[in-house]
Structure 1
């Protein structure tokens, strides 16, 4: 599982890109030492393993330790005083908008970063449906056309 963070790109009055909108993709993984030797590695070598069950605590840690620093490093400094909203869908492992640890971490360095939830059943505001799933659907149609032509 991954947490993808994107924003609207920003351009100046001449159309020059100030900010691409690409912030980062953060995997939910943990590094653990290998328990046994194998032909591929020795015991004790760090292995990257997926986190099987993402909880509120894991989500909070990802937001505070990975997402917030990435936003602060990539966001245009001229817009750091404008509120930045992180929109979450309504999945259970997401933290509440008034989570004390997140709010405290989000207010550092002069930034005003806030959480909000995606309105339920509103396709106009659902970034996943508008962008990601449409891209997948177009790839599916391309593949179908390739299969029919062969």
Structure 2
């Protein structure tokens, strides 16, 4: 698998300007994995100017060991987090996202904008907090034309 699938994928996708640097493939310490000095792998891994080496992950490294929790525990944790997350928090997040999208349109895709503040808590208390923001039709048209012209360049 390493020689027929992994090495060709790395060689295809790896940026050429970094091809001279050593690339490490880290594998866990399972006995079914290739030994670090596998002759066939080492020969193929140096082909084409690459320096690809095998390494084992450090033993007893909790950040690198395979996940010890079961799928059931994961589902339970996600469900608990979902239950603790209020619909109002979700609405506030999406309102902020929408306001950022409008600001991004104003600056023609740049990230040079300030996140607008709507005072959502006050609007909520007054029952005036929107579920969604409206985009100015002129701004939408300007953005559409801008993107169309950029694509033609």
TM category (shorter chain) comes to 0.3 to 0.5
| TM-score between the two structures when normalised by the length of structure 1 | 0.48
Normalized per residue, the structure richer in strand is: 1
| TM-score between the two structures when normalised by the length of structure 2 | 0.47
Normalized per residue, the structure richer in helix is: 2
